[in-house]
Amino acid sequence: MWAITIGDLGEFGLIARISQRLTQGPDVDLGPGDDAAIVRAPDGRVVATSDLLVEGRHFRPDWSSAYDVGRKAAAQNLADVAAMGARPTALLVGFAAPPETEVAWAEELTDGLRDECAVVGASVVGGDVVRAPLVVLAVTALGDLGGARPLTRSGARPGDRVAVRGRLGFAAAGLELLSAERTEPAELIAAHRRPLPPYDAGPEAARLGATALLDVSDGLVQDLGHVAAASGVRIDLDTSSLPVPAVLGARGLRHVLTGGEDHAFAGTFPAGVALPETWRVIGQVTEGTGLTVDGEAYATGGWDHFR
């Protein structure tokens, strides 16, 4: 059967086609179709973040469906908003692709973006499409703080406890399996294709009095190292407290410490805060600088685009 390509539809035909697949949430006064969208910001401040996904670098079409790529692209940006203690409201998506790309692929991608947004009540409100030699997604996410203070990386203080919510190491283990041309355990493969951020952990951490917070996108050691540097403190992780499920295999601890893209939430909390069972204490904040694991320096190994 002959497949319709993006080149067949043209730019405006593609925009019209994928816009029909989108739904708009309560924060959107004007969605796709005009020069710009209008998104409400009740707090008066807008939380904004952006990310890029490049074919062959962040995803492979032979490993992930277009729907998976859409869910992943939305998730990693929505998680950044939630990590500030905010409620995600909208996504803007720049989509570049070769003209021979099938329209069905772009539609599945749109469905993935839409469905991940629906998890948090956000919407895709606009963007742009251009011709390129490979698929590139440029995603901008917006959010609203609802009157709360933002959670940053610079608030950790000596005496705080370090805690994490969400799974760690699953996406990295899945990537390792796919690289070895393996398809089991399916749970790990699925984790690489589509993260499951605990979005409500951000606003929850704010209510609990967190002093610092981020989502784990580049590896626990590397990301908490950013918190230590921004806060001017030392963070020590206790490996006996880390969640290392058996499904992660023999390299489980390393995956937990250095694997990214699960988008768990890691934060620091005053010692007197009673944390819910969903949060797991994994370390301490002390005087000093840097990050240690069981009191010793650790080769970070996390993700770095230019290393």
CATH of the domain at 282: 3.90.650.10
Which of 88, 119, 144 delimits the end of a domain?
144
**Contact at 8 Å (CB) between 117 and 78?**
yes
**Would 154 be classed as within a structural domain?**
no
Non-local (6+) Cβ contacts of 286 within 8 A are 158, 159, 233, 234, 235, 236
The C-alpha atoms of residue 233 and residue 124 are separated, in whole angstroms, by 39
**Would 151 be classed as within a structural domain?**
no
pTM of the complete model? 0.94
**pLDDT of res. 305:** 53
Q: Is 126 left (phi over 0), alpha (psi -120 to 50) or beta?
A: left
Give the whole-number percent of the chain exceeding pLDDT 70. 97
Sign of CA dihedral 169, 173, 179, 184: negative
> Does 199 lie in the same domain as 134?
no
Q: Could you tell me which residues are annotated as the binding site?
A: 35, 49-51, 58, 80, 127-128, 153, 215, 217-218, 261, 303
Give the domain CATH number at 10: 3.30.1330.10
Which of 109, 144, 179 delimits the end of a domain?
144
> Does 76 lie in the same domain as 103?
yes
**Would 150 be classed as within a structural domain?**
no
Residues of the chain with pLDDT under 50: 306
> Does 236 lie in the same domain as 140?
no
**Average pLDDT value over all residues in the chain:** 95
Domain hosting 137: range is: 6-144
> Does 215 lie in the same domain as 116?
no
**pLDDT of res. 222:** 95
**Contact at 8 Å (CB) between 186 and 246?**
no
> Does 166 lie in the same domain as 138?
no
> Does 140 lie in the same domain as 165?
no
**Would 1 be classed as within a structural domain?**
no
**Would 165 be classed as within a structural domain?**
yes
**pLDDT of res. 306:** 45
Which of 89, 109, 144 delimits the end of a domain?
144
Q: Could you tell me which residues are annotated as the binding site for ATP?
A: 127-128, 153, 217
**Would 104 be classed as within a structural domain?**
yes
**pLDDT of res. 307:** 55
> Does 227 lie in the same domain as 175?
yes
**pLDDT of res. 33:** 87
> Does 172 lie in the same domain as 127?
no
Q: Could you tell me which residues are annotated as the binding site for Mg(2+)?
A: 35, 49-51, 80, 128, 215, 218
Tens of pLDDT along 7-22?
Answer: 999 998 999 999 999 9
> Does 169 lie in the same domain as 137?
no
> Does 116 lie in the same domain as 241?
no
**Would 227 be classed as within a structural domain?**
yes
The C-alpha atoms of residue 257 and residue 242 are separated, in whole angstroms, by 9
Q: Could you tell me which residues are annotated as the binding site for substrate?
A: 58, 261, 303
The C-alpha atoms of residue 93 and residue 121 are separated, in whole angstroms, by 17
> Does 262 lie in the same domain as 199?
yes
If one counts the domains in the chain, the total is: 2
